[in-house]
């Protein structure tokens, strides 16, 4: 299923990888430890999925940012399909191509608080 234009798309990134992408103009990381070329797509999330992804894959990752993506600025297809390794078959958006830095409307610092809860800095951009 191709994702509707009105659904918010997010990507959780390591802050340093996002900084590197800003210099090059394109982001090519699929998920933690995998590049687009290895996975074939970039893992994205809908807002309600982000905390679960953070807890499952990024708890010990260090400095994070949440990228907010404007679907209209993407030239490659976003497909909603079962998540990799998702035992319940939950559907996630996947970007089948590189993410242009110009398609990111905000990059918000994120991490885990002292109680282990995933948090996003709403003031960051």
Which tens digits make up the pLDDT trace of 40-68? 999 999 999 999 999 999 999 989 999 99
- Tell me if 45 is assigned to some domain: yes
- CATH number of the domain enclosing 29: 3.20.170.20
- Tell me if 3 is assigned to some domain: no
- Tell me if 15 is assigned to some domain: yes
Dump pLDDT digits (tens) for 111-123.
999 999 999 997 6
- Tell me if 4 is assigned to some domain: no
Query: What are the start-end ranges of the H helices in 1-125?
Result: 15-24, 36-39, 50-57
Domain count of the fold of the chain: 1
Strand locations in 1-125 (E): 9-14, 26-27, 29-31, 34-35, 42-43, 64-69, 78-82, 91-95, 99-100, 104-112, 118-120
- Tell me if 111 is assigned to some domain: yes
- Tell me if 98 is assigned to some domain: yes
* Predicted pLDDT at 11: 98
- Tell me if 64 is assigned to some domain: yes
- Tell me if 51 is assigned to some domain: yes
The domain of 48 spans 9-120
pLDDT tops 80 at residue 87: no
- Beta pairing partners, 31: 34
């Amino acid at each position: 299923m191709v994702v509707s234009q009105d659904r918010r798309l997010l990507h959780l990134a390591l802050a340093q990888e996002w900084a590197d992408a800003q210099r090059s103009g394109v982001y090519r990381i699929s998920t933690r430890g995998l590049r687009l070329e290895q996975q074939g797509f970039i893992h994205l999330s809908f807002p309600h999925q982000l905390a679960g992804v953070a807890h499952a894959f990024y708890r010990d990752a260090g400095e994070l940012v949440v990228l907010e993506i404007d679907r209209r600025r993407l030239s490659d297809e976003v497909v909603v399909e079962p998540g990799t390794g998702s035992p319940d078959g939950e559907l996630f958006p996947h970007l089948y191509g590189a993410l242009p830095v110009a398609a990111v409307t905000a990059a918000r610092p994120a991490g885990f608080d002292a109680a282990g809860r995933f948090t996003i800095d709403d003031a960051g951009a």
